[in-house]
Structure 1
Amino acid sequence: MVGAEQSFEEFVRARTAALSRVAYLLTGDHHLAEDLVQQALLRVAGRWPTLVARGDPDAYVRRVMYNQRISWWRRREPPTVRHEVPQEAAPDPGDAVVAAVAVRQALARLGPRQRAVLILRYFEDLTEARTAEILGISVGTVKSQARDGLARLRALAPELSTLAEVDR
């Protein structure tokens, strides 16, 4: 059992930062993101030897996080505070910060499943098949959720198209 504990501790040290970034994108709040990562790791800890034997514990942890976030949403968690995105961004080094804030706010406007699909596909750069596997949905659902999520982002956050033009 000591080997499994050590293996789990190594996994936590190596993957917490990446999992925290994804959790923040899912929740839009640093404190909720920390809670989400901690809850996911607690759920995984007891099953660690089995997960290691299967070969991909990282995917399982992410799936637990996505499912937990959807569960919070279904219980009608209070919405996080959202700030208005500046309409004009000056061409300076702060543009990257403005873009990051705009993307986070836009993602916060989506439902949890669309948000999870977009994060996995475009932030973690996973394939449609891998995204479907992690979320436990079909590839067709990944495609439709991504299409609908992107369309909703275009409608709800037109400022993102301006930010995309600045990057070109």
Structure 2
Amino acid sequence: MEVPPLLIHLHKLSPATSEESLDGVLETLWETRKSGLSPIQRTQIHSLLNLPVPQELDTVLSCLRFIIRKVSKEKLAVEELQRLFPVDLSTDIQKTLVTLLQKYQSQWEKEVAREQMSWLASLVYRIQGNEDKFSHCDSVPSSGHPSKGGKLYSVLG
């Protein structure tokens, strides 16, 4: 697995960054994955990560969000997690990130699955609520089976 160019920016993390700091950052990034960080949170994270220049924060946050998305949507083993990082990234940072990502992986996977199920349920509810709008269509069989041109396929297709 080739390291995505974005992840080269992980080098900006100081090897002195504590596990507690990275834990707090990952937790905050997960909690704000839909809303984004507030200015206060950005300042706090910048401070926790000990970044020398404020302009480096965005690229580091992008790296960490990319990794969080990957971990929450794919079942990655330890070896696969380690291959995400640049080869010359500090071993302390690598170990800390792998430990924390493993700590949160199952929780994140469950939350993503729950959100997907909620989204699907909402979609089905909306489609069912609009069935009467499509009942006048002669080409829509009532079988409801997508491969047979059912209502769901016709609405989405």
Same fold by TM (over 0.5)? no
TM range (shorter): under 0.3
Structure number with higher relative contact order (C-alpha < 8 Å, ≥ 6 residues apart)? 2
Task: Tell me the TM-score normalized by structure 2.
Answer: 0.26
Q: Which has the larger radius of gyration?
A: 2
Q: Normalized per residue, which structure has more helix?
A: 1
